[in-house]
Structure 1
Amino acid sequence: MVLSYLIIAILLDWMLGDPYFFPHPVVLMGKLISLEERLAFKYCKNSRAEYIAGTLMVFINCFLAVAVPGFILYLLKGRAYQVFFIYSIYQAISARMLHYEASQVKKATERSLDEGRKRLSYIVGRQTSQLDESEIYKATIETVAENTSDGIIAPLFYIFILGPLGGYLYKAINTMDSMIGYRTEKYEYLGKVAAQVDDVMNYIPARITGLLMGIMAIFYGRYHETMASIKKYKYAHLSPNAGYPEAAIAGILNVSLGGGHYYFGQYIYKPMIGDSKKEISPSDIDRTIRVMYGTEVLFILFYSILTILLIKM
């Protein structure tokens, strides 16, 4: 039954994405985190206080992410329970939205550099005002690659283990990390615990994503190159996890990703991922999107096989 709910939720995501007019739990999480951040910076007078406030944010938001939908599921019965169960899975994944946003960046950049920079700023934390065309495409590819793990495989992994509440829990942690988990002077202490918890939560999913992308590389005739890229560059990232999907995509596309950028006015060094000197093109974004969908399909395929085996045991 859960497998059928999962498949329905994924099909809904592919067909609908995340319409801007439709209320989304992550938007509510983001508003709460923004409020908590403002209060923390207003009342915390030193780094220790910011660290404690950031720790409390993690506990409060994780509790609410599980308690609120858990209570709703407890109250619902029959068809209403099924609908909310499916919705809970659907809202946790974001393949169609990743596809849409990456395509919009590509189209905007083809119209003008300024439009591309502005559109890219909607989906990345780095400053985009000085990026050239190739850097815009590279940042888009990196975002799709990393979010194949963060926005698709990781929530599905925790839904597989903990049910829909696992998806809510993961999204709360990942949203905190995306908002305050930066290694900058401003967020060094407030976002430290959120970033550390996010690293732990993504440890297994990131490696699963890299492995699945390695399998996808077979269809591009670059399996050995991709696995070699993962082996060489899996730790060539400030995150202990993001290097896996980015190294895999670099191997599949035969491009170089990574490199330092400005975040909130502060330059953050990042190592390069990949040895290729090939110019990144708009078509590389399209290929990355196809790898993203293929990775999701492979995960569901293995999930289905494992579920069937467990039922028969």
Structure 2
Amino acid sequence: MFSFSAPFVLAAFALDLLFGDPPRWPHPVRWIGRLIETTERVVYKDGDTPLGHRLRGGLFWTVNVAAVAGCVAGILAAASWIHGALAGLCSLWIAYTALATRSLYDESKAVATALESGRIDEARRLLSRIVSRQTEHLDAEGIWKALLETVSENLSDGVIAPLFYLALGGPLGAMVYKAVNTMDSMVGYQNDRYRNFGWWAARMDDLVNWIPARLTALVLVAAGAAWGLDWRRGWAVVQRDARKHKSPNAGFPEAAAAGLLGVQLGGPGIYFGRTVDKPTLGDSVRPPDGEAFRIMVRLLFTASALAVLAAALARALWGR
């Protein structure tokens, strides 16, 4: 019986750093997105009552999680039946595709490059691909601020949380997490269509990210200490500001980043045509700018590496 051991965690991270997420390569998360779109078309009903939408949203969530878990378990079981080496390759591929350090760097770097080259309209367009807020009105400082926020938050959702569930449940655990997180990113919005239908997806995403978000703050502070940043200020801002955020989780990585960088994140933003006043995190010791972004990139890679080592150690000690 194949066991997803510590070297596979390290190998999955190495593959992510080398290849990232090439758009033409097969990717389970894109398939999960298509499954979610299909399930929504079948389950969603216009004109239903708020309770009806919530019940349908619960069914939608359950069907998608069960389908992803069943498919991954079936693939791994079939691969194990054929040959242990095939099971190892399938497990490694699934684990690699669950991680997003390289793709997060590539997409955020593209925004930063456009902005520093004076192509602000292109920077706004590229930023709109990785944030949910409207970007067409943002000035340069607003773009830098949004970029720092999304890198810190997606470090949690795209790297630390998948590693946490990879350590707990192997490739199956990581991919079920990706299904839960992808559903939230697609239907977990406070608008007329999804306020009730996406309620269950949003709450379950809050639940599965509760521990990883807090671990992300810890790992970021450790990474900041490794780079000689003011880690005490980083930790103090986490303790002071993390719970101000409307999300029970997003405030932790964002507050850690704000404290380490000495910038203030949060504040008003436009989402789906409505201005949302988000609480501010951190203090304006310096402006959010290209240098702050470059420090954030170092934190991204260092925190990812520390988390990978922790996940590999967990698999070595307790993995089966």
Normalising by structure 2, what TM-score?
0.93
In the superposition, relative to structure 1, how do residues 38 and 304 fare at CA in structure 2: closer, same or farther (>3 Å)?
closer
What is the CA distance between 1:39 and its match in structure 2? Answer: 4.2
Q: Which residue of 2 aligns with 1:156?
A: 163
What is the CA distance between 1:65 and its match in structure 2? Answer: 1.3
What is the CA distance between 1:267 and its match in structure 2? Answer: 2.5
Q: Which residue of 2 aligns with 1:62?
A: 65
Among 257, 263, 267, the residue aligned to 1:255? 263
Q: Which residue of 2 aligns with 1:81?
A: 87
Residues 1:241 and 2:244 aligned together? no
Q: Which sits farther off after the overlay, 298-307 or 16-25?
A: 298-307
**Aligned residues with identical type, % of pairs:** 38
What is the CA distance between 1:42 and its match in structure 2? Answer: 4.4
Q: Which residue of 2 aligns with 1:34?
A: 37
Q: Is the 8 A contact 2:259 2:283 kept in 1?
A: no
Question: Cα RMSD (Å) of the superposition?
Answer: 1.6
SS at match of 1:179: helix
Residues 1:184 and 2:187 aligned together? no
Q: Which residue of 2 aligns with 1:95?
A: 101
Higher relative contact order (CA 8 A, sep 6+): 2
Q: Is the 8 A contact 1:255 1:277 kept in 2?
A: yes
Among 284, 288, 295, the residue aligned to 1:287? 295
Q: Is the 8 A contact 1:253 1:284 kept in 2?
A: yes
Q: Which residue of 1 aligns with 2:12?
A: 9
Residues 1:132 and 2:120 aligned together? no
Residues 1:105 and 2:99 aligned together? no
Distance 1:84 1:58 in 2: 25
Among 170, 175, 190, the residue aligned to 1:168? 175
Q: What number of residue pairs does the alignment pair up?
A: 311
Q: Is the 8 A contact 1:237 1:271 kept in 2?
A: yes
Q: Is the 8 A contact 1:92 1:167 kept in 2?
A: yes
What is the CA distance between 1:3 and its match in structure 2? Answer: 0.7
What is the CA distance between 1:46 and its match in structure 2? Answer: 2.5
- 5+ long unaligned stretches in structure 2: none
Q: Which residue of 2 aligns with 1:193?
A: 200
After superposition, give the CA deviation of every residue in 1:175-208 in whole Å (9 maximum; x if it has no partner): 0111111223332101111010000100111111
SS at match of 2:59: helix
Distance 2:29 2:135 in 1: 24
Among 261, 269, 272, the residue aligned to 2:277? 269
What is the CA distance between 1:287 and its match in structure 2? Answer: 1.4
Matching residue's letter, 1:87: W
Q: Which sits farther off after the overlay, 13-22 or 27-36?
A: 27-36
After superposition, give the CA deviation of every residue in 1:258-305 in whole Å (9 maximum; x if it has no partner): 123222222223111112153211122221121111111112223344
Q: Is the 8 A contact 2:6 2:313 kept in 1?
A: no
What is the CA distance between 1:33 and its match in structure 2? Answer: 1.8
Q: Which residue of 2 aligns with 1:228?
A: 236
In the superposition, relative to structure 1, how do residues 65 and 94 fare at CA in structure 2: closer, same or farther (>3 Å)?
same
What is the CA distance between 1:51 and its match in structure 2? Answer: 1.1
In the superposition, relative to structure 1, how do residues 310 and 171 fare at CA in structure 2: closer, same or farther (>3 Å)?
closer
What is the CA distance between 1:161 and its match in structure 2? Answer: 0.6
Q: Which residue of 1 aligns with 2:305?
A: 297
What is the CA distance between 1:41 and its match in structure 2? Answer: 4.6
Normalising by structure 1, what TM-score?
0.95
Distance 2:229 2:294 in 1: 17
What is the CA distance between 1:92 and its match in structure 2? Answer: 0.5
